[in-house]
């Protein structure tokens, strides 16, 4: 079968690899129906892969082809969402809905034991705990939004939840990438009254406004902080959705959150530390981390099915597997917001 392999910085290709196959009785194999490229894949693209032959991709919808002898709930033929981590479904953390901390879990396509989803098929460990069977047949129009539940929409939602977005609340979303845009959707869905998008790409900002952003701040750094304060009576916002993961993004987030407010972090942390005394004296809460998207599907799926949220709109280009190297290039150069793959 064909799969996406990262060789070195800026060098990703498609090659033939051994077919995905059951290895453990709790495994399934899925045929990938849709996959995509994540902003976090670009860290590997820019900084280099985790190993010299990294299988890429951690977001997918698939059809179950085969299941191991111990798989109980997942059946061949089902259309399933594959969250970006696998999880046993039975440990303490899975029981609490924090599958990203599963004691037997791991992430797809980051150089660990599990291969990547930018491929024709994929072995899924702990199929019952990992896969979410969908109550629908493949539906062309719905597929992008369903796919977003495997990572990007659940991640934006996690930012909103951990930033404690409340009805009537004031929110800022740091970053106008696909996660930030899904953060806008999530904040609007949870009833925020003021949603400030911080970014500077015209098309993305326009989409953020369609999703519910009420204000736009294009400035960065100290100027951006000052502008958000201006827009909030000098106080700052109650909830900040940090959707980038750089040191500057976290500084901005802490600069714009008001006393008693919360920062929900979902940008993969590429900074070493958080300020101690400033956050203490202002009673700022810092929360977030890798999103337990498996737990959020239940909440978000009805709104996707009903079309009341349309996170699939973050995909602005569709390619086949052969187009994946160009897809990485386009996202790296910001010519594309998020690339959808039909293997």
CA distance 35 to 33: 7
Contact flags string 15-34 toward a second copy, x per CB under 8 A: --------------------
Q: How far is the CB of 226 from a second copy (least distance, A)?
A: 18
CA–chain centroid gap for 182, Å, is 9
> Could you tell me the two tokens for 124?
């899924």
Residue identified by tokens 């981590």 is 85
289 binds a second copy (CB under 8 A): yes
| Binds a second copy by CB under 8 A, chosen from 260, 302, 307, 320 | 260
User: With respect to a second copy, which residue has the nearer C-beta, 76 or 247?
Assistant: 247
| Binds a second copy by CB under 8 A, chosen from 194, 209, 214, 287 | 287
| Binds a second copy by CB under 8 A, chosen from 12, 29, 74, 284 | 284
Q: How many CB atoms lie within 10 A of CB 61?
A: 26
User: With respect to a second copy, which residue has the nearer C-beta, 253 or 336?
Assistant: 253
User: With respect to a second copy, which residue has the nearer C-beta, 143 or 163?
Assistant: 163
| Binds a second copy by CB under 8 A, chosen from 143, 195, 286, 314 | 286
Which residues 6+ apart lie within 8 Å of 19 measured at CB? Answer: 1, 121
Enclosing H/E stretch for 45: helix 41-47
Q: How far apart are the first and last CA of the chain?
A: 11
Contact flags string 121-160 toward a second copy, x per CB under 8 A: ----------------------------------------
Contact flags string 210-249 toward a second copy, x per CB under 8 A: -------------------------x--------------
In 3D, which of 3, 99, 105 has the Cα closest to residue 57?
3
Q: Looking only at residues 157 through 176 of this chain, which bind a second copy when binding is defined by CB under 8 A?
A: 162
Q: What is the CA radius of gyration of the chain?
A: 19
Q: How far is the CB of 274 from a second copy (least distance, A)?
A: 4
The strand pairing partners of 239, in sequence order, are 171, 262
Segment near a second copy (CB under 8 A), from 52-60, 197-205, 271-279, 306-314? Answer: 271-279
CA distance 123 to 105: 14
CA distance 237 to 165: 10
Report helix, strand or coil for 294: helix
| Binds a second copy by CB under 8 A, chosen from 17, 42, 48, 93 | 93
| Binds a second copy by CB under 8 A, chosen from 214, 279, 317, 318 | 279
> Could you tell me the two tokens for 69?
């002898």
100 binds a second copy (CB under 8 A): yes
50 binds a second copy (CB under 8 A): no
**Using CB atoms within 10 A of its CB, is residue 140 exposed (0-12), middle (13-18) or buried (19+)?**
exposed
CA distance 207 to 314: 8
User: With respect to a second copy, which residue has the nearer C-beta, 18 or 280?
Assistant: 280
DSSP 18: P
| Binds a second copy by CB under 8 A, chosen from 7, 268, 317, 325 | 268
């Amino acid at each position: 079968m064909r799969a996406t392999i990262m060789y070195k910085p800026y060098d990703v290709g498609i090659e033939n690899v051994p077919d995905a196959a059951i290895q453990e009785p709790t495994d399934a194999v899925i045929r990938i129906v849709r996959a995509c490229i994540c902003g976090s894949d670009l860290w590997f693209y820019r900084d280099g892969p985790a190993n010299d032959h990294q299988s890429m991709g951690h977001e997918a919808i698939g059809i179950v082809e085969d299941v191991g002898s111990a798989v109980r709930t997942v059946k061949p033929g089902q259309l399933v969402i594959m969250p970006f981590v696998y999880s046993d479904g039975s440990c303490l953390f899975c029981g609490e809905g924090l599958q990203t901390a599963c004691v037997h879990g791991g992430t797809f396509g980051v150089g660990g034991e599990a291969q990547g989803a930018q491929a024709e098929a994929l072995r899924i460990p702990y199929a019952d705990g990992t896969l979410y069977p969908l109550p629908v047949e493949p539906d062309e129009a719905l597929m992008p939004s369903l796919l977003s539940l495997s990572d990007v929409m659940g991640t934006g939602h996690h930012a909103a939840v951990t930033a404690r977005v409340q009805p009537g609340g004031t929110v800022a979303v740091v970053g106008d990438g696909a996660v930030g845009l899904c953060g806008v959707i999530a904040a609007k869905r949870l009833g925020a009254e003021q949603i400030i998008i911080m970014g500077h790409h015209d098309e993305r900002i326009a989409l953020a406004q369609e999703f519910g952003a009420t204000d736009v701040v294009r400035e960065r750094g100290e100027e951006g902080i000052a502008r958000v304060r201006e827009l909030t009576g000098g106080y700052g916002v109650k909830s900040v959705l940090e959707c980038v993961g750089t040191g500057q993004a976290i500084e901005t987030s802490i600069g714009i959150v008001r006393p008693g407010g919360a920062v929900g972090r979902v940008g993969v942390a590429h900074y070493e530390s958080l300020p101690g005394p400033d956050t203490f004296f202002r009673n700022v809460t810092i929360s977030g981390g890798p999103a337990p998207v498996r737990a959020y599907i239940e909440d978000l799926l009805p709104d996707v099915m009903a079309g009341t949220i349309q996170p699939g709109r973050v995909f602005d280009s569709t390619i086949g597997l052969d187009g994946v190297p160009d897809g990485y290039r386009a996202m790296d150069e910001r010519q594309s917001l998020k690339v959808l793959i039909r293997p």
